[in-house]
Structure 1
């Protein structure tokens, strides 16, 4: 019983502070607590708000609604605003308590309805339930004479500290553009039904601490609306009445950084959407004055819902990218998007491998000088060469003398055969068959509008028929010299149509290794270049076993930094996102393993933990060992950069980045290059400000017998974290 009571109290408190934070598109409970304190500038308003939230929480618990949504404040923030609004209009007494009870529950059920209806279309319900709930009371209030209008008195902070309020107003009056500043601060306070400069200042400070981008958006959106009114010589009394200019602020935050990824374009579109708010305020003010109803946040709701509905109908993003995973932080939205764009912008839906086994030479690449021209420019020709660069062994007069002749050709991805041409003789060296240009050929479908074509295959080696399915890596034929082929080679191309002779399609190869002048280079989603010796990356057993983080698996972690032993567990979310969970530090590191590369995607938790060090040191690891092979990757600056430095950077982040973080990796040593048991590599995190290196973190990793030992230095002292799987 005691445990259950503690759980409910914790749930209620978390949901209470989250409700306030939700009003400003946040899930920060610290910010929510600050906002809750602001509402107590008028005690009646503050108590009415809390009362409304508690009533809805109790109702939700009694009817067994989702506890996570109670905790997140999703059920309650609309009822909160109803409570704040009514607490500011009516005197706090038993009559108001009865009305507040009824309308809070009504608002809750309206919230559930809109959550279901709009949620099915991936649209937010915003503050529509608040508007309907509070309008119901205002329209019917004339029939309830027991409701007394609120008279601010001894329970108002302005009465307790009049000097603070008057002094603040007098100070702002000395500033340039003081009229605009007054209107901005009071509009900000009006969101919580606190119409004072002090409330606006406190909220703006909280907004800055929570999100610099939201703060900049609030000023930007308000300024656009204010200037539009000024230029159009609008009636400013409409803005001063209830300081309804908060619609500019809420719309700017919503469409500039909460539902849309913050960027130059998200700011630019506000230049066009905010004036719509001003037009709606003017039009609806005239209409609603007939019923003596305030507009509150109606213009904001209309514009945001119309904008988001329109965005969902686009065929392409057009530079305005909707947030797909809601993180309740414009900074997280921006940095996650830009990091993913940098890291995975070349990634493809279908991963196409090289159609070869072993090392081959790219004899003609994209835009090649011989035949890869015009509509057929995105193609690759392969042959095999010896150490001297020759394609054949002496005497070289027969096709059988060529190293690539009769070598296997493999499927680059799973697919289905849609076209086959076979039975064409292989040419003698120097001869070509222009009539059967492509020679023996096969076209395989890998997905919608994605096909691969192989040409000049050896006669009688293509056993596939139309309708056959193939698996990635399966041998489909052998390299020959049929068709327009003066000497044996393989022609390979991707195309969007299923015909032999279709025009080519630009499409990168997923993962491969190139070798030039003895140097191995790792490539991810790139186009092999003419003259390169390339091969598919062959995975190493030692690497694949060490980084086999399968959901359900556990690891013992020993750290010399704190002389502690802890346990990590690999888990997966309901969306099949895999992550490592450290109960000791409460930290989580999300990762992916695509059988070619192991890489982390995000970290949340204690940055002094062993898991964080592992996240940094093994941020991206190729699963095949090649001597001295290196790679580089971008890092999300939220994961590595000092919070104070990033705090300053956040103000300009949507426009340009002057802070960068890069990860670099290099294999250093092994006991056996062909079948390694022990593999060592080093990695490094480099932070730079305006291109100048600011900080570097170095790591050394050793793998053996499924174990991983990561060594790093702090304060000139080396520490080691050892990760051992639990059998």
Structure 2
């Protein structure tokens, strides 16, 4: 093994230690883990037991091949860590002093058992429930440990009789003492000072997580009062279970929000009742005193595991994906998950609303939209009728009664999303102009299944134009038929709707069309996701496959700018980089980096790091999004990402408030025009506090289609802030 490889492996093993501690609190912070490791040494016996068991599990998991040798992850070993902490908590100090090697051997055996048990259980839960097994391995291991000590007579009603570097304190009052003791119990250190340190560290890492731990304890303390339950002198299992339930449901597995927190409170109540239901006593005869006695059987983390897995899995089975929103992004930090959801998901779509592309090419008139005044009513309200109309307002070229003279007739119809053909009706002849077929209302049609009980229907098609059969797969944008005049259709048009079953005439489903343009008196307005309205002329945005190159943002490209900022001038270089995860970045020589994507002919800014006033910041402020349509004047609106418009401290404050209400809103309005080979963009970003405008930036960007971004001007009011020109 080379020196470089040895350093990688040893570095990974070392970092896996604090990462295992932080994983217990659903965090990926090594600093948090290091502090938590130190906290466990408030009781040296417990801290040493945890560290020994963890190191054993890390080494074995790498040697056996459960993890790569250089892995920094603590996910696979955190159950061994908690199980070892449990050994340290229950193991008699007298026995440890008498036979330390027996103590070490016992810890290693427990650690290995928890490790292998985790691998098996986690495989089963991911395979059948699409859920991590959390700390089920620890709970099963810990109950075996407890019964072993109970049967051998090593347990007493006051198990925590170890040396403590900091004695328990009641100076904080009953309520806070219970809260901090519950927090300390997460690491088998039921000490007020340990809990205080853990709570403080959580507060520093995530304000939302800290607030949720308090909410969990509020629920627990109220239930203790209402139901007359009692706490204990050692670990209060209902306390730390409810804290973890609320924190994990309300901030980890669900995107933080009012509905998520309501679900979390309900889950906590269920967890408390489960803790009571699972509680019991173990009766035994002490082998030393020969006296009968009883011990309360701990529930360990069974309630939090059972309740969280139950709630999250049940939410995954919903027919419609509405609030609360499941966190499927793999981000365990509540504020970061909320930021990504707001800037990448909520920004481009409405939760639970299916999205489809326009099923026709070119410009079409919406002759009847949602809740139309002719036939789009009641259960059939969410549908569109499309026709082609010329500049003079006519829908035919010459003869009004000639079917083939209608612009819509014989136009191609395309699949608006990928799926499987569910039903085809063909062979119904077209009507003469003005006539309708009431016996076959829908005429010739095709319905396509897109999964999850969602179907699209394309009706009034021309007889013989459908070449597909039921069961065939069809891709997005595939030609499926041509427009006709069959069924209840006096003139050629396409009827399109999203529905809940394959049959024509079934209930329609509220949905959006995406990436289309609406014609205006001055040009076009781009709509990323919306509902075309009756009377609008719309057309799909034709994706420009070369947009990234036109902007000069291809991988490994470089650009340099002469920047003027007030009286200062300097040069700023941009490098374009594609990382291991397939993410594109613009990296400025002034320290700022921007993540972006170009998809379906649309540029999107996804996030900014190290926010500074430089050319890249100005570019991001002015251009959070750019759909491109050649030789057309195009307007659009967007919500810039928080990392662009706010300093980090203000962004974190807003993310903390966002689940409750949004006091600060941002909107960018942009307009694009094109002259020869130059794309000119005017943009304005407005800040509103409680609906009142408090700040605005505006400026221009010029893009040379052959050379990329050539100039940027950022202003506020009448003051020019920054000017950058390509060199």
What band does the TM-score fall into relative to the shorter chain?
0.7 to 0.9
**1:93-242 superposed matches below 5 A:** 94-95=100-101, 96-120=103-127, 121-141=129-149, 152-153=162-163, 156-158=164-166, 169-170=170-171, 172=172, 178-234=173-229, 236=230, 238-242=231-235
Q: Report the number of matched residues.
A: 684
The Cα of 1:555 is off from its aligned counterpart by 1.8
The Cα of 1:21 is off from its aligned counterpart by 0.9
Among 645, 655, 663, which residue is 2:660 paired with?
655
Going from structure 1 to structure 2, the CA distance change for 1:239 and 1:333 (only over 3 Å counts) comes to: farther
Gaps of 5+ in 2: 284-293, 564-569
Among 453, 476, 483, which residue is 2:458 paired with?
453
Q: Deviations over 1:144-199 (max 9, x none)?
A: 9999998655xx4337xxxxx76xx43x2xxxxx2111111121122223333222
| 2:336 matched residue in structure 1 | 332
Going from structure 1 to structure 2, the CA distance change for 1:372 and 1:116 (only over 3 Å counts) comes to: closer
Please, what TM-score do these two structures have when normalized by structure 1?
0.80
Going from structure 1 to structure 2, the CA distance change for 1:699 and 1:62 (only over 3 Å counts) comes to: farther
1:631 correspondence with 2:636: yes
Going from structure 1 to structure 2, the CA distance change for 1:8 and 1:360 (only over 3 Å counts) comes to: closer
Moved more, 55-64 or 303-312: 303-312
1:297 correspondence with 2:301: yes
SS of the counterpart of 2:653?
Answer: helix
Contact 1:354/1:509, CA 8 A, preserved across alignment:
no
d(CA) in 2 for partners of 1:334 and 1:68?
33
| 1:162 matched residue in structure 2 | none
Contact 2:461/2:483, CA 8 A, preserved across alignment:
no
**1:454-469 superposed matches below 5 A:** 454-455=459-460, 463-465=465-467, 467=469
Among 418, 426, 435, which residue is 1:420 paired with?
426
d(CA) in 1 for partners of 2:574 and 2:92?
57
d(CA) in 1 for partners of 2:36 and 2:533?
58
| 2:682 matched residue in structure 1 | 682
The Cα of 1:718 is off from its aligned counterpart by 2.4
1:532 correspondence with 2:525: no
**1:662-701 superposed matches below 5 A:** 662-667=667-672, 669-672=673-676, 677-698=677-698, 700-701=700-701
Q: Deviations over 1:488-533 (max 9, x none)?
A: 5524322646677777665443332222333422123333322223
d(CA) in 1 for partners of 2:380 and 2:313?
41
Contact 2:687/2:693, CA 8 A, preserved across alignment:
yes
The Cα of 1:612 is off from its aligned counterpart by 6.7
1:642 correspondence with 2:636: no
Contact 1:542/1:679, CA 8 A, preserved across alignment:
no
| 1:556 matched residue in structure 2 | 558
d(CA) in 2 for partners of 1:68 and 1:617?
45
Among 234, 244, 269, which residue is 1:250 paired with?
244
The Cα of 1:639 is off from its aligned counterpart by 5.7
Moved more, 372-381 or 142-151: 142-151
Contact 1:189/1:196, CA 8 A, preserved across alignment:
yes
The Cα of 1:268 is off from its aligned counterpart by 1.8
d(CA) in 2 for partners of 1:503 and 1:272?
33
| 2:526 matched residue in structure 1 | 522
Moved more, 577-586 or 212-221: 577-586
SS of the counterpart of 2:348?
Answer: helix
| 2:271 matched residue in structure 1 | 277
The Cα of 1:624 is off from its aligned counterpart by 1.2
Please, what TM-score do these two structures have when normalized by structure 2?
0.80
Moved more, 690-699 or 223-232: 690-699
SS of the counterpart of 1:554?
Answer: coil
d(CA) in 2 for partners of 1:400 and 1:307?
57
d(CA) in 1 for partners of 2:608 and 2:66?
28
| 1:84 matched residue in structure 2 | 85
Contact 1:261/1:330, CA 8 A, preserved across alignment:
yes
Contact 1:581/1:589, CA 8 A, preserved across alignment:
yes
Going from structure 1 to structure 2, the CA distance change for 1:223 and 1:62 (only over 3 Å counts) comes to: same
SS of the counterpart of 1:509?
Answer: strand
**1:478-489 superposed matches below 5 A:** 489=492
Going from structure 1 to structure 2, the CA distance change for 1:347 and 1:2 (only over 3 Å counts) comes to: same
Q: Deviations over 1:615-668 (max 9, x none)?
A: 55543211214644221223443564323223433444322222333343221x
SS of the counterpart of 2:72?
Answer: helix
SS of the counterpart of 1:75?
Answer: coil
Moved more, 208-217 or 518-527: 518-527
d(CA) in 1 for partners of 2:136 and 2:450?
43
